Structure 1
Amino acid sequence: MIVAVRRPHGHKPESHRFVLDGILWVSRTSAPWRDLPEEFGKWSSVDRQYRRWKLAGLWELIPEALNDSPAVPDSVQMVESAHVRAHQHAAGAKRGPPKEGPGRSKGGLTTKIHLRVNARGLPMRTEITTGQTSEYEGFDMVMADKLPPPSVLIADKVYDADRIGEKVEAHGGVPVIPMRRNRKIQEPLDTVLYAGRNLVKRCFNRLKHTRRLAIRYDKTAASFLGFIDIACIRLCLRH
């Protein structure tokens, strides 16, 4: 159930269903808000309601409710990150926290999406940072939650760090992370478990079917993260 979030003297939308459909249409097509078809309502009203729901924490509450289900397999979890190119319209946001706008890396203006998924390859937690931010910082962000700790954590070798392994083991988990070549002592890797890492790659692939995620058009981090949450909600509901 979606509850209206508006100013005390604001007008109640005629249909929240049309507003939600309009938000989903923009998310799927990545079209500007001004190009929203009239059947969804006035574009400025839909845009305003999207931001109000975001500020109210609606887009974060729904994934949390889905992850609280006992049917969610959370014993095996995976983490991964991916770069997203930023459109020129995403630049020029007001000065704020470092992660507010896209960062600069070898690929130009980019944003990095950090993702934590369960054993079914469905999103559990998402965060965004500038493109040049390390995976170590992104790992701390997606794992800093009240979600159940993993019994097995699978990740790429970019997450090979002593403190990451120690953090997983401190919660009773087993890290399945290939070691970097410069490690003096190379420990064996469970290749059977590590083969399951393709699930997080496939999750990113499905999320980027939402064109608003394939290229970042939003100036603010909150707005872009809201569209990421919407894509995650649709993916979880379909599976």
Structure 2
Amino acid sequence: MAKRSPFFPKSHGRPRVDDRRVLSGIIFINRNGLRWRDAPEAYGPHKTLYSRWKRWSEKGIFAQMMVGLAVEHGEEKTVMIDATYLKAHRTATSMAANGGRGRLIGRTKGGMNTKLHAICDSQGRPLSLFVTAGQVSDYIGARALLSSIPNVDWLLGDRGYDADWFRDALKDKGIRACIPGRKQRKTTVKYDKRRYKRRNRIEIMFGRLKDWRRVAKRYDRCPKVFLSAIALAATVIYWL
């Protein structure tokens, strides 16, 4: 709570209900993917949990919390970039115009999905997160996360990030790219294969985030609320 409290909005008027109890209930619901009405009585009224979650998510409090704690990562050598699919539940896609467009939900071979793009440090701790519709290219996520890449020596990525503009942008920032070339390239791209093997840490990070039911299966219609669920899971798992 000492690490989190600087990111809480100020209370106006009547004092807020106990932050520790309410946040504990929010974490319990997100981790287990339960309905808000199924929250144990120890966490107080479920309407209080839901209203706090909805209000702070729309303000971006949980995302700001993760970014603020991740600033002290201390990484100087290597970061990694990758993306993963998160399945959307029918409650998130129902009653949406154009099949969920605007909610960052797209149709892929695996069904209706949202795509999570992330940058993590050499220890596999997430530094920046970005969500798009499932059918969106990795290049879109790379372009959005480019400005948040810290000043390091190396960036590891898979073939999905093999683009000349991305390599040039990393070179301008003084970062060396460890990205294998696509098979369509006429000239072979050399990369450090031994260093590339460390990229499994970002895959492990995605797996740990998906242990939280509300992250592995998207129930929220609002993209900002869903991103808050991912940021909350990342904060609890890696930054506290």
Distance in 2 of aligned mates of 1:164 and 1:20: 39
The match for 2:60 is 57
Contact 1:93 1:219 in 2 (8 A): no
The match for 2:233 is 231
Residue 71 of structure 2: which of 48, 68, 71 is its match? 68
Distance in 1 of aligned mates of 2:130 and 2:42: 33
Distance in 2 of aligned mates of 1:107 and 1:120: 30
Q: 1:5 to 1:40 in 2, by over 3 A?
A: farther
Contact 1:168 1:175 in 2 (8 A): yes
Distance in 2 of aligned mates of 1:236 and 1:105: 30
Q: 1:187 to 1:18 in 2, by over 3 A?
A: same
Residue 180 of structure 2: which of 178, 181, 185 is its match? 178
Q: Could you report, residue by residue, the CA deviation over 1:63-111 in whole angstroms, capped at 9, with x for unpaired residues?
A: 2222222x52243110010011111111136669945241111111111
SS of 1:229's equivalent in the other structure is helix
The match for 1:155 is 157
Contact 2:66 2:239 in 1 (8 A): no
SS of 1:24's equivalent in the other structure is helix
Contact 1:90 1:101 in 2 (8 A): no
Distance in 2 of aligned mates of 1:99 and 1:165: 30
Residue 110 of structure 2: which of 107, 112, 126 is its match? 107
Unaligned runs of 5+ in 1: none
Residue 59 of structure 1: how far off its partner (Å): 1.1
Matched letter for residue 33 of structure 1: W
CA RMSD of aligned residues (A): 2.1
Residue 17 of structure 1: how far off its partner (Å): 1.1
SS of 2:86's equivalent in the other structure is strand
Unaligned runs of 5+ in 2: none
Residue 168 of structure 1: how far off its partner (Å): 0.5
The match for 1:203 is 205
Contact 2:151 2:175 in 1 (8 A): yes
How many residues are treated as equivalent by the alignment?
A: 234
The match for 1:131 is 134
| 1:27-42 equivalent positions in 2, closer than 5 A | 27-42=30-45
Matched letter for residue 177 of structure 1: I
The match for 2:224 is 222
Contact 1:27 1:211 in 2 (8 A): yes
Residue 125 of structure 2: which of 122, 126, 149 is its match? 122
Contact 2:30 2:213 in 1 (8 A): yes
Residue 27 of structure 1: how far off its partner (Å): 1.0
Matched letter for residue 92 of structure 1: S
Q: 1:160 to 1:101 in 2, by over 3 A?
A: closer
Residue 187 of structure 1: how far off its partner (Å): 2.4
- TM-score (normalised: structure 2): 0.90
- TM-score (normalised: structure 1): 0.90
Residue 171 of structure 2: which of 163, 169, 172 is its match? 169
Contact 2:154 2:178 in 1 (8 A): yes
When you count helix as a share of all residues, which structure comes out higher?
2
Contact 2:124 2:202 in 1 (8 A): yes
